[in-house]
A and B are shown apart, each in its own frame.
Chain A
Amino acid sequence: MSDARPPGACALVTGGSRGIGAAIARALAADGWPVAVNYLTGAKPAAEVVASIEAAGGRAVAIEADVTDPAAPATLLDAVQSALGGPVLALVNNAGVRADGLALSLSDEDWRIVLDTNLGSTYRLTRAALRAMIRARYGRVISIASVVGPRANAGQANYAASKAAVIAFTKTAAVEVARRGVTINAVAPGLIATDMTQDIPQAFRDRVPAARAGTPDEVAAAVAFLASDRASYITATTVYVDGGLSA
């Protein structure tokens, strides 16, 4: 069993062009990971993330892919190998969407797109990435969950279901591969100041014990730790980065 990151190991961050994903990509690069920044629509911000990583002395590449495409995992993993010269041994499942509405009025499409993006892509990418990880006897999968899921949040039944399922998937997949030196964990952000949370009502903000929104860098720090060799014995768990919101 190897506890140290193998030479050539690369990281892939889905939805890495903005917000939490961009901060994670930068944090992993700062820890020495060559990083693939996946994006769907944000070509320009993804290029900016890559440029900022390179300016800081790191290696990165931006790769466009729709993670809801069943062919995306194989394509993405091959593209990372070609561009960065190594296998993806750290996968950060960050790509996610919201389509809020009361459960009694959610459309089938709002249900499907949120479950498929947040949960389906996490499953498909993890399944594909685990192949190289179990062979390498080393791997890190970190999926971005949410405080919403373990806890209720009216108007987000689809989002909550997807994120609670990500945590459940994380636990079971983790125990399946633990003895191959692969860890699988979730990070559950609370209210984080990003484009995605600008419309969160003040009443929700007032529930945060820390009395402020978190930053993408504060989430990225937890992800970078879980990706590090220092976290080699941490698996099947969820780290909450929420200013006490879930307490």
Chain B
Amino acid sequence: MAEHSPEQIEKVITDSLISFGANADEINRDAELTALDIDSLDLAELSQIIEEHFGVELTSGDVAEISTVGDAIDLVAERA
């Protein structure tokens, strides 16, 4: 498994959230995904993007545990 820095992971996730329509100014580790208007379809696509970039497969159970941007970054960093 390739090494990925937390900064790389944060950038991919942040860019993805922006592409889904989230306001860049409101994205930070503590931001709730629901407050960023990120919904289940966005999360499904984010899972695909994470799999493509980092080779990390997230189950629907994993995704259900994610509530903040920081949760997503930490989960991927843990497994990448």
Contacts and interface: CB of A to CB of B under 8 A. Distances in A.
A and B interact physically: yes
B48 A135 contact: yes
Contacts of A177: 41
Interface in A142-193: 176-177, 179-180
B45 interface: yes
A179 B41 CA distance: 10
Interface in A125-150: 131, 134-135
A177 B42 CA distance: 10
Contacts of B45: 134-135, 180
Interface string B38-54: 00010011001100000
B48 A176 contact: no
Contacts of A180: 41, 45
Interface residues of A, number: 7
Classify the interface of chain A: helix, strand, loop or mixed: helix
Nearest to B45: A134
A134 B40 CA distance: 13
B77 to A, nearest CB: 23
B41 A131 contact: no
Contacts of A135: 45, 48-49
A180 B45 CA distance: 10
Nearest to A130: B44
Contacts of A176: 41
Interface in B21-72: 41, 44-45, 48-49
A201 B52 CA distance: 53
A179 B38 CA distance: 13
A180 B21 CA distance: 12
A180 B19 CA distance: 11
A101 to B, nearest CB: 38
A181 to B, nearest CB: 12
Nearest to B48: A131
A176 B41 CA distance: 7
A74 B49 CA distance: 18
Contacts of B44: 134
Nearest to B40: A176
A152 B20 CA distance: 43
A77 to B, nearest CB: 14
Contacts of B41: 134, 176-177, 179-180
A180 B42 CA distance: 10
Given A131-B48, A180-B41, 11 more contacts: A134-B41, A134-B44, A134-B45, A134-B48, A135-B45, A135-B48, A135-B49, A176-B41, A177-B41, A179-B41, A180-B45
Interface of A: 131, 134-135, 176-177, 179-180
13 contacts: A131-B48, A134-B41, A134-B44, A134-B45, A134-B48, A135-B45, A135-B48, A135-B49, A176-B41, A177-B41, A179-B41, A180-B41, A180-B45
